[in-house]
């Protein structure tokens, strides 16, 4: 089981070719390749699924979170007949599985994601986002900016800045961010964010970090 991009670890992107090698090893040793796309799936990374960046096909894909647009709990497990066919009647059940309202919301959420071009927007905004952060923040203060689409993270030099203090200052300036560990901030804007909104957020991030770092040096 693999997250194509590790979300809770701080948007850790694997090296190019990693997922292809995972697919090859799983095929070689007859091991199921399961892609956990609960956080990365449905446009978050600028592709419908993050595995599409390497054009690999897992045996099982797991979806959740954005599947209902945040309105109702639902998750899904997708697989070919070869895998799903191992479950015969009576071997698997779920008290809340197949909820009609949840399923309808999921279908509508998928329609909205596609019809409103949220995937393309996530890719475009993500490119701007990372480019601006890398060009306007000193690598001495923020040595790493990483991510795909609108799943991103910055790594702070913890000898200069304390991650929780930075996040509180950003909140006070109007931007909610998520601290990960003691030196990583995860940044995951909405998929329908406009460029103007993105740049407003960028200004808060960059001004906050630069101002706080200047006081430390």
The answer to whether residue 24 scores a pLDDT higher than 80 is yes
In the chain, the domains with their CATH numbers are 18-116 (3.40.640.10), 118-215 (3.90.1150.10)
Name the pLDDT band for 170 (thresholds 50, 70, 90).
very high
Q: What is the spatial order of strands in the sheet that 144-148 belongs to? A: 144-148, 151-155, 184-187, 178-180
Q: How many residues does the chain have?
A: 217
Quote the crossing angle between the two packed helices 118-136 and 195-216, to the nearest 10°.
30
Asked if residues 41 and 61 have their Cβ atoms less than 8 Å apart, the reply is yes
Name the pLDDT band for 189 (thresholds 50, 70, 90).
very high
Name the pLDDT band for 216 (thresholds 50, 70, 90).
confident
Confidence (pLDDT) at 97 = 82
Share of the chain above pLDDT 90, in %: 91
The answer to whether residue 217 scores a pLDDT higher than 80 is no
Name the pLDDT band for 50 (thresholds 50, 70, 90).
very high
DSSP 174-210: T---EEETTTEEEE---TT--HHHHHHHHHHHHHHHH
pTM: 0.93
Name the pLDDT band for 95 (thresholds 50, 70, 90).
confident
Round the average pLDDT of the chain to a whole number and report it: 96
DSSP 55-99: T---SEEEE-GGGGTTSS---EEEE-HHHHTT--TTS---SSTT-
């Amino acid at each position: 089981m693999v997250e194509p991009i590790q979300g809770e670890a701080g948007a850790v992107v694997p090296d190019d070719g990693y997922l292809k090698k995972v697919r090859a090893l799983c095929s070689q040793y007859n091991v199921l390749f399961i892609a956990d796309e609960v956080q990365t799936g449905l446009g978050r990374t600028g592709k419908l699924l993050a595995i599409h960046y390497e054009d690999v096909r897992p045996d099982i894909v797991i979806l959740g979170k954005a599947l209902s647009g945040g309105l109702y709990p639902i998750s899904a497990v997708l697989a070919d007949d070869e895998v799903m066919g191992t479950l015969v009647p009576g071997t698997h059940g779920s008290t809340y599985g197949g909820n009609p309202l949840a399923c309808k919301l999921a279908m509508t959420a998928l329609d909205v994601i596609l019809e409103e071009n949220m995937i393309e927007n996530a890719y475009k905004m993500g490119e701007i986002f990372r480019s601006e952060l890398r060009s306007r923040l000193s690598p001495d203060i923020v040595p790493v900016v990483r991510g795909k689409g609108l799943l991103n993270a910055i790594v702070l030099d913890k000898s200069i800045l304390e991650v929780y203090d930075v996040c509180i200052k950003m909140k006070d300036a109007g931007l909610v961010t998520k601290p990960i560990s003691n030196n990583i901030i995860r940044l995951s804007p909405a998929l329908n964010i406009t460029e103007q909104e993105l740049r407003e957020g960028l200004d808060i991030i960059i001004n906050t970090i630069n101002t706080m770092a200047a006081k430390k040096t």
